[in-house]
């Protein structure tokens, strides 16, 4: 299985949503915690506040904004940690990237600089000539 690391895929639909920049950043962080083909993550509000450099109350406002826009669903989790289901998830994008990367690696790569046919050598005869045995 191919996994991209250090990158987060996001659909262009998200850019067209009328949300604040802080809510967009929160959505981006939540989607980055969804790995592989999963669309659920469960960071605490305190942790998200630390990542955003905001208060937990601001994180609550951003999550409310995202929920009202239909970008996330929130389920109450255990010990005060919510489960965030990221909508418009990257599943389709993820599969497309995986397929493109598989196809790209399967293609016969040809060097454009060196696309001419190579000469064939008789290495034993060359060795004898270089050593002066012939």
**Residue 21 within a domain:** yes
40-41, strands of its sheet edge to edge: 40-41, 83-86, 72-75
Which stretches does DSSP call E strand in 12-108? Answer: 40-41, 72-75, 83-86
**Number of domains the chain is built from:** 1
The answer to whether residue 122 is domain-embedded is no
Residue 101 lies in a domain: no
Tell the residue number behind the tokens 């397929």, with chain if given. Answer: 99
44 located within any domain: yes
Look at residue 100 and tell me if it is in a domain.
no
Q: Specify the pLDDT at position 123.
A: 86
Q: Print the domain residue range for 71.
A: 12-91
pLDDT score of 51: 93
CB 45 within 8 A of CB 82: yes
- pLDDT one digit per residue (tens) for the chain, 134 residues: 345 566 676 777 777 778 899 999 999 899 888 876 778 888 989 999 999 999 999 999 999 999 998 888 888 877 778 888 888 655 555 566 666 666 665 555 566 666 677 788 888 888 888 888 87
pLDDT score at 2 = 47
For residue 38, what is the domain's CATH number?
Answer: 1.10.10.10
The verdict on residue 3 lying in a domain is: no
Half-sphere exposure of 17 (CA within 13 A, CB side): 23
Residue 128 in domain: no
Q: Quote the pLDDT of residue 108.
A: 58
For 113, the 3-state DSSP assignment is: coil
Q: Which residues lie below 8 Å from residue 113, measured CB to CB, with a gap of 6+? A: none
In a domain, 112, yes or no: no
């Amino acid at each position: 299985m191919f996994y991209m690391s250090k990158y987060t895929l996001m659909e262009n639909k998200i850019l067209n949503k009328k949300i604040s920049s802080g809510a967009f950043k929160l959505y981006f962080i939540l989607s980055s915690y969804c790995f592989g083909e999963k669309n659920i993550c469960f960071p605490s509000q305190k942790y998200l506040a630390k990542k955003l450099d905001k208060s937990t109350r601001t994180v609550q406002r951003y999550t409310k904004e995202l929920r009202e826009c239909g970008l996330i669903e929130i389920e109450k989790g255990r010990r005060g940690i919510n489960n965030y289901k990221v909508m418009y998830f990257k599943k389709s994008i993820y599969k497309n990237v995986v397929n493109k990367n598989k196809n790209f690696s399967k293609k016969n790569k040809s060097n454009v600089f060196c696309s001419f046919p190579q000469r064939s050598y008789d290495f034993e005869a060359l060795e004898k000539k270089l050593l002066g045995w012939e």
